Amino acid sequence: MLALSKSRTLSLVALSAALLSSSLFAKEPYVNPVHNLTGEQVYQQIKTNLETNLYSLPPRVQGHYAIRQFRMTGDEKYANGALIDLLTVAERQAYYACNLDKPNFIETESALAGSKLGKGPRGKARKKAIVLYPKFMLLSDTLLRYSSRIDEFGFTGPCHDLMVKTLKEHDFTPAFTDKKMIKSWAAQLINYVFWAKQIGVGDYYPAYKAAFRKTYPDSKDAKLSKGQFKNKIYGMTHFIFAASEYYQYQVDPKEYQWILDYFEKNIDRIIADTTEDITTEVGISFLITGHKNHPVTQKVKDFVISSYNPQMQMIPSPTGKAELASGEHRNVLAMMLLDWPETLHPGPYLADIKSTKKNLPRLVNVKLEDKKAEVKPTLH
């Protein structure tokens, strides 16, 4: 009995040690292997991996990659990937925009979208924030998103007039300036602000900028959690990205000097306390504003190159996952940073491209040429 008792005790001790060891191991941060690849080599390897596997990725991800590669290169081989995106968003807008006059449709669809925000800390925070705004999810996260994308391709979408009328009648100011909303939706809100201006339903930029800076004063940075610091930086990069209509146009740095100065001052904390995605966006923010040789740009490039895993042929997630569908955003950003062009390419305007103009969805209408070619001014 004594031997049996000792055996059981030793087994329990061994099991506890094993579990403890496993737990500790699981908490160890992922470390990328050291390599000597150049930025050009990293760029080419990521590109080969993504384009070899592109058709295995969801339509949304294929479109995301193709649109950005077109805007970087102007290569029309990416137009069909953008067409996939247009087909998807035009169908979605047809459903949502064409039912706006149905009783309770907006509230019902908004609630349904809100229920899918996730169960993690960010999802819970967003669910709490939108309680006061029962129309937010459909009007902002759905209609502004889809209609602005269709507009970027040179079209208006289905039930455009009804949609614009509905959006003009809605005052987005309370939701866009709510501190709880900004603390959980900072990057998304500045997107919505620019998209509302883009499709002509309102100018909320001054109000949002003031609310954002009041929510995240630089003097209180030390009190920000890592999560809130990430949200602040992510929001700041999207001021510049949205102003460029997502890499279609260079941006005058004057309006955004407060952001660039902040990034320069805090770049070490940004690298330490945010993610590869966000840090890369900081580097791209300098490129969009004409600072190709800025020290911050080079520092971010060095960080991105060191984050690359040659065995995985991609920059993995912070936990070391190498999933193309969820990691495409991170890796196409890295490609853009490492091979930023001298000239950006607006569009693609799919009605003007031979490979796509015969396959356009019947749900969209081509915009007038002069409007399509118009360069949007920076908001003030």
- The predicted pLDDT at position 31 comes to 72
- The predicted pLDDT at position 363 comes to 97
Structure tokens at 49: 């991996």
Place of tokens 């065995």: 311
126-143 mean pLDDT: 97
pLDDT (tens digit, 9 = 90+) per residue, 309-332? 999 999 999 889 999 999 999 999
- In the three-class reduction of DSSP (H, G, I as helix; E, B as strand; rest coil), residue 25 is classed as helix
User: Side chain identity at 352, as an amino acid letter?
Assistant: D
pLDDT (tens digit, 9 = 90+) per residue, 186-229? 999 999 999 999 999 999 999 999 999 999 999 999 999 999 99
Sign of the CA dihedral with 295 first, then 301, 305, and 308 last: positive
16-27 mean pLDDT: 39
pLDDT above 70 (res 247): yes
Place of tokens 């459909």: 138
Alpha-carbon distance of 65 to 24, in angstroms, equals: 37
User: Mean pLDDT across the chain, nearest whole number?
Assistant: 91
Q: Place 306 in a pLDDT band, splitting at 50, 70 and 90.
A: very high
Beta-bridge partner residues of 146: none
* Residues present in the chain in total: 380
Alpha-carbon distance of 273 to 186, in angstroms, equals: 17
User: Side chain identity at 220, as an amino acid letter?
Assistant: K
Residue whose C-alpha is closest to residue 112's, from 141, 143, 90, 138: 138
Alpha-carbon distance of 125 to 175, in angstroms, equals: 14
Alpha-carbon distance of 116 to 257, in angstroms, equals: 37
- The predicted pLDDT at position 32 comes to 75
Q: Place 369 in a pLDDT band, splitting at 50, 70 and 90.
A: low
Beta-bridge partner residues of 156: 365
pLDDT above 80 (res 22): no
357-369 mean pLDDT: 92
pLDDT above 60 (res 378): no
- The predicted pLDDT at position 29 comes to 59
For the chain, what percent of residues have pLDDT higher than 70?
89
pLDDT above 70 (res 8): no
pLDDT (tens digit, 9 = 90+) per residue, 75-84? 999 999 999 9
41-56 mean pLDDT: 97
Residue whose C-alpha is closest to residue 307's, from 54, 26, 27, 37: 37
Parallel, antiparallel or unpaired: strands 155-156 and 365-366: antiparallel
- The predicted pLDDT at position 194 comes to 98
Q: Place 368 in a pLDDT band, splitting at 50, 70 and 90.
A: confident
- The predicted pLDDT at position 18 comes to 41
CB 188 within 8 A of CB 182: no
Q: Place 30 in a pLDDT band, splitting at 50, 70 and 90.
A: low
Q: Place 3 in a pLDDT band, splitting at 50, 70 and 90.
A: very low
Place of tokens 């030390």: 222
pLDDT above 70 (res 305): yes
For the chain, what percent of residues have pLDDT higher than 90?
86
Alpha-carbon distance of 235 to 256, in angstroms, equals: 13
Q: What is the DSSP letter of 275?
A: -
Place of tokens 């109000």: 207
Residue 270 CA from chain centroid, whole number: 17
Residue whose C-alpha is closest to residue 282's, from 145, 322, 266: 266
CB 184 within 8 A of CB 125: yes
279-308 mean pLDDT: 97
CB 349 within 8 A of CB 365: no
